[in-house]
């Protein structure tokens, strides 16, 4: 295996295909030709954060804000289960308030009663809030660090945003016994190959259970600008290299093929799976809300309902020799390995 820097610097098509093939072989060895699915519930685009790259940042006055209620989130979870999806993700902008904490707590209890795996992606919270949601029945939490480089992080966010707090939140999640997920954006302005290699080392050092990462795609209403914008093909290749290098470094974790890959190429998610990813998150949110939850430009499938997405997914995966683990939660192998080791 080449070093991380060498893998991420590859450019020749034959070398890239060899990298993807090696990562896919590693995925087949530990997981098999199987894809875990999580029905994605985009619960709201209200956000207290003002990240310079994000389409739903607090200062973007062009966004029509919404927040799903408890009954609607539970209804969507029931829809996911009717499709055979045994896990869902509740994702939203970042809100810290007792009212919101209670809303999620009630919702989690009702979804957990459906015997489903539940991932939350609700940003930075106090450890007690994470603990309450875990005790209510949430099993996983995804909190992307965005970059493991604190200086680069500071260029992407206002001074009020703290990389150190984000890191401490990840460690709080581990203390609360979640399957802990994080991730980064690939191709950020000012980001280097060495930065991305360090990101993967960060994943290893923090011993995470799952990764959700994807290419940086600019949003027209966000202020972050690029001096030398990457092409769609370059962004896609970078995202695939990061998936492959992460799979080869951490063979037993869950890695999502992000929707952003499909925004760059119609078969982007499938390419992500063939580069070593093993998780997909088909959107089950109502069509009327999808266009209001655009973190980046060109979000795909904003006009397709959940049933059409499911049919499309089955067809696409069959074409590449993969199949969906219907009726299974698809938990992280690394999480259970760590738990077993801790009991010895």
Q: Express as a percent the part of the chain with pLDDT over 90.
A: 86
Range 122-149 average pLDDT: 98
**pLDDT (0 to 100) of residue 141:** 98
In the DSSP assignment, the letter for residue 115 is T
Residue partners of 232: CB distance under 8 A and separation at least 6: 264, 265
Q: To the nearest whole number, what is the mean pLDDT of the chain?
A: 94
pLDDT at 21: 98
Average of per-residue pLDDT across 288-314: 77
The CATH number for 193's domain is 3.20.20.70
CB 273 within 8 A of CB 240: no
Sign of the Cα pseudo-torsion (278, 284, 288, 293, in order): negative
- How high is the pLDDT of residue 1? 59
pLDDT in the model for residue 313: 84
Rounded Cα–Cα distance for residues 67 and 69 (Å): 6
- Percent of the chain, pLDDT > 70? 97
Query: Residue 243: which domain range?
Result: 4-343
Ramachandran area for residue 327 (φ above 0: left; ψ -120 to 50: alpha; else beta): left
How far apart, in Å, do the first and last CA atoms of the chain sit? 31
Comparing CA positions, the residue from 62, 67, 16 lying closest to residue 45 is 67
The average pLDDT across 104-126 equals 98
Per-residue pLDDT band for 304 (boundaries 50, 70, 90) equals: low
Least confident of 182-186, 303-307, 338-342: 303-307
Residues 13-24 pLDDT 10s: 999 999 999 999
pTM comes to: 0.95
Given a cut of 70, whether residue 311 has pLDDT beyond it is yes
What was the pLDDT predicted at 159? 96
So what's the pLDDT on residue 296? 84
Q: Per the structure, how many domains does the chain have?
A: 1
Q: Sorting pLDDT into bands at 50, 70 and 90, what band is 77?
A: very high
Question: Which residue's structure tokens are 């991305």?
Answer: 196
């Amino acid at each position: 295996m080449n070093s991380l820097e060498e893998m991420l610097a590859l450019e020749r098509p034959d070398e890239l295909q060899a990298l993807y093939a090696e990562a896919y072989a590693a995925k087949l060895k530990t997981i098999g030709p199987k894809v875990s699915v999580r029905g994605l519930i985009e619960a709201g685009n209200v956000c207290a954060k003002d990240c310079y790259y994000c389409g739903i940042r607090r200062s973007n006055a062009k966004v029509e804000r919404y927040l799903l209620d408890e009954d609607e989130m539970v209804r969507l979870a029931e829809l996911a289960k009717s499709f055979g999806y045994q896990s869902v993700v509740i994702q939203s902008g970042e809100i810290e308030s007792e009212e919101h904490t209670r809303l999620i707590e009630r919702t989690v209890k009702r979804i957990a009663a459906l015997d489903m795996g539940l991932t939350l992606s609700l940003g930075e919270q106090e450890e007690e809030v994470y603990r309450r949601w875990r005790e209510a029945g949430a099993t996983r939490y995804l909190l992307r660090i965005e970059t493991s480089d604190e200086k680069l992080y500071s260029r992407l966010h206002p001074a009020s945003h703290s990389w150190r707090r984000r890191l401490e939140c990840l460690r709080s999640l581990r203390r609360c016994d979640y399957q802990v997920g994080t991730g980064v954006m690939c191709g950020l302005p000012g980001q280097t190959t060495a930065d991305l290699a360090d990101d993967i080392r960060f994943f290893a050092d923090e011993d995470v259970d799952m990764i959700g990462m994807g290419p940086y795609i600019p949003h027209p209403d966000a202020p972050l600008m690029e001096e030398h914008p990457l092409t769609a093909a370059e962004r896609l290749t970078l995202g695939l290299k990061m998936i492959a290098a992460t799979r080869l470094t951490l063979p037993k974790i869950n890695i999502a093929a992000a929707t952003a890959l499909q925004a760059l190429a119609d078969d982007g998610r499938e390419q992500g799976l063939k580069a070593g990813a093993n998780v997909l998150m088909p959107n089950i949110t109502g069509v009327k809300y999808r266009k209001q939850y655009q973190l980046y430009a060109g979000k795909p499938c904003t006009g397709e309902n959940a049933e059409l997405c499911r049919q499309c997914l089955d067809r696409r995966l069959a074409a590449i020799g993969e199949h969906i683990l219907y009726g299974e939660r698809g938990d992280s192998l690394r999480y259970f390995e760590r738990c077993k080791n801790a009991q010895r």
